[in-house]
Chain A
Amino acid sequence: MLRYIVKRLLLLIPIILGVSAIIFILKTFTPGDPARQILGNDATQEQVDAKREELGLNDPVIVQYVRYIGGVVRGDFGESYRTGEPVLSEIVPRLATSAKITLGAVAIGAVLGILLGILSALKKYTWVDSLVLVISMFFQSVPEFVVALVLIMIFSVKLHLLPATGIETVKGYILPMVCVGLSSVASYTRITRSSMLEVLSEDYIRTARAKGQTEGNITYHHALRNAMIPVAQSIGTNLGNAIGGGMVLETVFGVPGVGKYIVDSITQRNYPSVLGGALIIAIVLTIINLVVDISFVLIDPRLKTTIISGGSKAPKKAKAAA
């Protein structure tokens, strides 16, 4: 098990190197001088030059890159050009806010999607099935910010039930969570439906019927757990999408999360913050995917042998007496 975790964490190295390389390359091609950006238009050229020297912007890009990676290894993501604060300490509280919204969104999307998927599998080829398909396709194809604006119109402007922006109260979380969540419903519905249909036609379902088991228990005890395996696997992927969607929506809803932080930093050419934000999200995603994969073991006992012992065979059990 430990070997497996270490192996997976080692994957972080190419991810960090790659993500930061991309952003460094973008940085060299973007016009404008970050030093000028920080000091404002009133600063003299000498002041700007001094700042450039201080920030190390005069060094070759490759030197800057190596220096940056060296910092990351020590947990130093640089300082924000705008505030001078360490990027890490600016991001951590925002990360918590984003995490709440993302987790809420994944929960809403997964619960709704799984329920709808089960429903359409049990009622396959009926009008219920088609209706579920249409609804979930609708939420998948309409852009999230459009859904967001419509929900703001209804719940904030017309009904005055929920705030349009900000997260001063807990209510502020609801609309962003729902918007991001709805966009992933279709994907969960589709995966649940097809995996449920596949599982329901398995021989062991017939075995359960041959025991005299009720249809309800067959769905719940025999089919669901098997059908959830691909669904759980898709949570990792959906999480990435939810974070991406969340970034845009944080700006729409004025939520001070990592997404808004990165978007704001991009407009300010605040490279350390952009880079730090992107890297931290990549690291968090990798770790979450690892946790998701390990948790499969809880659902599917067959994986225990492959994951825990890192691929080698499980110890041989006592042979049958015959």
Chain B
Amino acid sequence: MSENILEVKDLVIHYETDEEVVEAVNDITFTLKKGQVMGLVGETGAGKTTTALGIMGLLPSKVGHVIQGSIKLEGEDLLRKSPREMRDVRGKRISMIFQDPMTALNPVKTVGDQIAEVVLLHNRCSKAEALKRAQEMLAMVGIVPERYKDYPHQFSGGMKQRIVIAIALACEPDLLIADEPTTALDVTIQAQILDMMRKLQKDHGTSMILITHDLGVVAEMCETVAVMYAGQLVEFGSLEEVFDNPKHPYTRALYQSIPSLDKDVERLHVIPGMVSDPSNLPPYCSFFERCDEKCDRCRDFEPWAVEVDPGHVVRCLQYTPEWNGGEK
């Protein structure tokens, strides 16, 4: 048994529509150790959800395509599995919590049935046993178990998200992908949900990919961080490395963009410029236009991943021999 739960290598995902090809994920590589929590951060449109859907095998049919790469779950390549085998993986070995809890539940089924469904799919048990498990799960996420007979519209947003989490955890998955689990909720509820997720993750030793915009959440919950920009992982490393010693100009800019209590809010740093259009990426570094550390050679190369410290990987020309001095 390897100690890595997930190994993603050279993954490329495109959306192909009639009008254009969107290069949503461009050659990303990362590994996640068992029991670890990885933060996946980046601006909107960076390809975070696409990466997650790729791992789940849930890219929109006909439009979303994995062009190359491998996704290994405990050494088994998920991309080589049949649809049938993938159904056994989903919900059981990998679960996902989606961005919007308001729409993630079926409005015409009771929440108990919706939790029991995943239990019945992956365990040999009776409907009654599955419903019992559903009630246990509700209790675990802090909802009165007797409410298993209620319908989604009878719950608040925060409670719906707890139910979504209950569904994701009902079969005790090895890997949980949480796609911005709290962005749709208000701030006080966010903290409650995150506390609960951290506790459940610790108790069960679940490995987790936490997708978020919120670097504060990353600092609190994650052991490793992957920073995504225009479909690429521009920086990947341990929380300490990436936070205390950010190497990529984009990561550095991100930190300046977080409002902080001890800094003057007026100096809030917004990264100038627009995110590159993923349907029309340049043949050189896609952060070039917005970078304030670039050199004249940055236009000549698409930067490649460089391991600057053990386990700390950066995609920037600065750390390659091609670099000919910044203009800071």
Report A's interface with B, CB cutoff 8 A: 202-204, 206-214, 222, 225-226, 299-302, 314, 317-322
Contacts and interface: CB of A to CB of B under 8 A. Distances in A.
27 contacts: A202-B103, A203-B98, A203-B103, A203-B104, A207-B98, A207-B105, A207-B114, A207-B164, A209-B58, A210-B58, A210-B96, A211-B91, A212-B86, A212-B88, A212-B118, A213-B91, A213-B121, A214-B87, A226-B106, A299-B108, A302-B107, A302-B151, A318-B147, A320-B142, A320-B159, A321-B143, A322-B142
Interface residues of B, number: 40
Contacts of B121: 211-213
Given A210-B96, A211-B90, A321 B103 contact: no
A299 B147 CA distance: 20
A273 B108 CA distance: 46
Interface of B: 56, 58, 86-92, 95-96, 98, 100, 103-109, 114, 117-118, 121-122, 142-144, 146-147, 150-151, 153-154, 159, 162, 164, 167-168, 192
B151 A301 contact: yes
B95 A210 contact: yes
A82 B186 CA distance: 74
Contacts of A300: 107-108
Contacts of B167: 207, 211
Contacts of B164: 207
B90 A317 contact: no
Contact of A320 (B86, B118, B143): B143
B202 to A, nearest CB: 18
A212 B98 contact: no
Given A204-B103, A210-B91, A212-B122, 16 more contacts: A204-B105, A207-B104, A207-B105, A207-B106, A208-B117, A209-B90, A212-B86, A212-B91, A226-B107, A300-B108, A301-B151, A302-B153, A320-B143, A320-B159, A321-B142, A322-B192
A4 to B, nearest CB: 19
Contacts of B154: 314, 317
B87 A213 contact: yes
Given A211-B90, A212-B89, A204 B106 contact: yes
